[in-house]
Chains A and B, each alone.
Chain A
């Protein structure tokens, strides 16, 4: 909880990461607002705001009196959204740094292919 984006957005992103990784399975129960607040050491109102971002997006849904659950299809939905922003989030900064260092796109492609083979 320390980069410059709003804390609620970071909370939402952390929950998304847990859904993408499968740590929070679909139709599994998500921690409560107060559990999130205690875990991240943040005000419960901030935690609620973060969770509501995901409720509004249909990633989480509320069962009255029971708690919050991960919606079916949430994982695929989140992966799709992350794929859409992959270019601007990762590829463009990579190109900007490469340009700064004088690495042209052919060299860059080669480097990517090499790393992919190694892993």
Chain B
């Protein structure tokens, strides 16, 4: 498998803040990655480093086996859609779509036109007069129609309504299937995208917390619900990720279960329910409960 990105011991400090702290990973070609984490976790900084918009404090980055900084050959094949993209004063959406092909070798105008219609984007209105959602849809359209071999979407859909987000997911899947490429999608709407992802990177406080196949991650945890005594008997000394309870009932999140263990649980009258990727990440990145429990 060819890797599109290779990152080794990458760090970025802003003064005393370690925005990205000794991170190493590879991104394989033509897969859809989710880059997930809480606000301020370091996602955007990491993407800025990868696209040569920030200089690393230490460590190495290679994109298509080259360094991205000031490297036109790499950047032509890379598209970075930012949450708060700025456009020149007095630009209209049609100016964006006129200039975009200059930067992206694989730009597909027909596809862009179709997306403009899908998102009902007014082409002649000044960009500063557009709504937040319309502004986001410009980014989404550029990101999709550029067909860059490596595309980053950093929170691409601020203000986009549910219909527009669904259009984005559907078009992304369709076009990805027809024109495979590497996509890195950073978002807080984890449940909405979890089935689209093939691989998940979770970053927390600048550190890489999870680097795993999405399918493996999905099976990593299960909620076991039932009478407290039965639940406790079933979990024994398994690793418990989260514990909740009300009265005589108990709900415990444990690491993935095998088929026979699931049957045992059912036989013991316990209910099993899936833990969504979002819940799992909340449980793994939530610090206040640990602190709370420690102080209690």
State the A residues within 8 Å of B (CB): 1-4, 6-8, 33-34, 37-38, 40-46, 49, 88, 92-93, 96, 100
Contact = CB atoms under 8 A, between A and B. Distances in A.
A10 B178 CA distance: 24
Contacts of A40: 195
Contact of A46 (B195, B263, B272): B195
B294 interface: no
Contacts of B222: 4
Given A38-B177, A43-B197, 12 more contacts: A4-B275, A7-B215, A33-B177, A38-B170, A41-B170, A41-B196, A42-B195, A43-B198, A92-B267, A93-B266, A96-B267, A96-B269
Interface centre among A6, A44, A93 (most CB of B within 10 A): A44
Interface centre among A37, A43, A92 (most CB of B within 10 A): A43
For the side of the interface on B, what is the size category?
Answer: 20 to 34
Q: Describe A's contact surface by its main secondary structure.
A: helix
A21 to B, nearest CB: 24
Contacts of B178: 34
A78 B177 CA distance: 30
A37 B266 contact: no
B106 to A, nearest CB: 19
Contacts of A100: 269
A44 B274 contact: no
A4 B174 contact: no
Given A42-B196, A96-B266, A3 B215 contact: no
Interface string B65-94: 000000000000000000000000000000
